[in-house]
Amino acid sequence: QKFKVVVTRQLIDEAQKLLEDVSDLDVVQWPSEDQPAERSWLLDNAQGASGLLVMLSDKVDQELLDAAGNDLKVIASFSVGTDHVDTAVLRKRNIRLGYTPTALTDAVADLTIMLTLMAQRRGGEAIGKVIKGEWPKMPWSPLLMTGPQIGGSTVGFLGFGRIGQATLKRFIPFGIKRARYLTSKPGQPAKEDHFGLLKEGKIPIEPAQNWEQLARESDVVIIGCALTPDTKHLVGKDFLAKMKKTAVLVNIARGPVVDTDALVAALDKEAIFGAGLDVIENEPNIPADHPILKQPRCVLVPHIGSATIETREQMATESVKNLLAGLKGEAMVNEVQL
């Protein structure tokens, strides 16, 4: 029996080869490497599929599952986030979901450091001034382009899974003073200590009792939680109002965790020092006149957290492995417990 699988992107060589080497697959693949599959193409081609390998830009919902029909066994998502997937419907229909949470931890943690330092040290603003030819008007001076220093900071983590902890591991050698974290269970110790940091005890690493405490005490707030109905707009007007004027906000999770209008207002009023964003509401539809782009203290990059060559290769390979494991009823590299 041949399994039909639909893959919504061309994949990097090794993963493509892994897919093509399986003889009992009938592979239907979106032809582009850089453009997302059209929804109508996906709905038309899903019919009779046993597996779908999708990107985070492909919505996996009731409509798509209905279009696929009863042979569908597995969704392999090329991502750590699964907010584009309706997991309740998958559970009901006994469809397995693979994802790639371990492959991208280091790459995203690296970018989080970059965004934090860019926000504190005003990297976007500084580069912008030089490019615009403003340097001749701003000779070196003691307070020119100064910002807060990472050493001595209290770093607060909203969500403290693998990525948050990998980021903390990188921050400790910078000399941060302490870490606070808030998970879905406020005040409780993190359930997993992915890198032994909590046990090691080099600096105090403690749960926050609530979001107010996290906002109030942190010099850096790192958003690394999943997007759920509970975390949507968790960082809005109230949260931002509790943050220190000298603090920076970094979002490497999903745009809608932050209320963009509230963030723009807070930056306008200098109620916080700056922001570093890898994600934003309504991405990628951010036109040149978007108000966030008028904020010199905000650096925004286009969702490139996992974008290292090594990580994208690993994500592609693991996605194919998850797809194949799902078809054969075998163990995946990483599977979401639905």
Options 184, 209, 246, 282; binder of ligand GLV; rule CB under 6 A: 184
Q: Which is nearer to ligand GLV, 35 or 184 (CB)?
A: 184
Options 11, 15, 52, 56; binder of ligand GLV; rule CB under 6 A: 56
Is position 160 an interface residue for ligand GLV (rule: CB under 6 A)?
Answer: yes
Is position 198 an interface residue for ligand GLV (rule: CB under 6 A)?
Answer: no
Is position 326 an interface residue for ligand GLV (rule: CB under 6 A)?
Answer: no
Is position 167 an interface residue for ligand GLV (rule: CB under 6 A)?
Answer: no
Q: Which of 84, 233, 290, 303 is catalytic?
A: 303
Options 124, 156, 161, 326; binder of ligand GLV; rule CB under 6 A: 161
Residue 127's contacts (CB-CB under 8 Å, 6 or more residues apart) are none
Angle at which helix 105-120 crosses helix 162-171, to 10 degrees, equals: 50
The residue type at 284? P
Options 274, 276, 305, 326; binder of ligand GLV; rule CB under 6 A: 305
Q: Collapse the DSSP code of 267 into the 3-class scheme (helix H, G, I; strand E, B; otherwise coil) and give the result.
A: helix
Q: Which is nearer to ligand GLV, 267 or 275 (CB)?
A: 275
Helix (H) or strand (E) holding 74: strand 74-77
> Which of the residues 57 through 96 are near ligand GLV (CB under 6 A)?
79-81
DSSP 2: P
Q: Which is nearer to ligand GLV, 62 or 184 (CB)?
A: 184
Task: In angstroms, give the least distance from the CB of 104 to ligand GLV.
Answer: 6
Beta bridge partners of 26: 4
Is position 116 an interface residue for ligand GLV (rule: CB under 6 A)?
Answer: no
**Alpha carbon separation from 165 to 55, 67, 140, 162, 247 (Å, rounded):** 25, 39, 37, 5, 20
Is position 159 an interface residue for ligand GLV (rule: CB under 6 A)?
Answer: yes
Is the previous residue joined to 31 through a cis bond, with omega within 30 degrees of 0? no
DSSP 73: -
Is 30 in contact with 7 (CB distance < 8 Å)?
yes
d(CA 292, CA 263): 8
Residue 303 annotated in active site: yes
Q: Which is nearer to ligand GLV, 19 or 253 (CB)?
A: 253
x/- track of binding to ligand GLV for residues 91-110 (CB under 6 A) = -------------x------
**Alpha carbon separation from 282 to 64, 190, 254, 265, 303 (Å, rounded):** 22, 31, 10, 18, 12
Q: Which residues does the annotation mark as catalytic?
A: 303
Contact residues: ligand GLV, CB under 6 A: 56, 79-81, 104, 159-161, 183-184, 225, 305-306
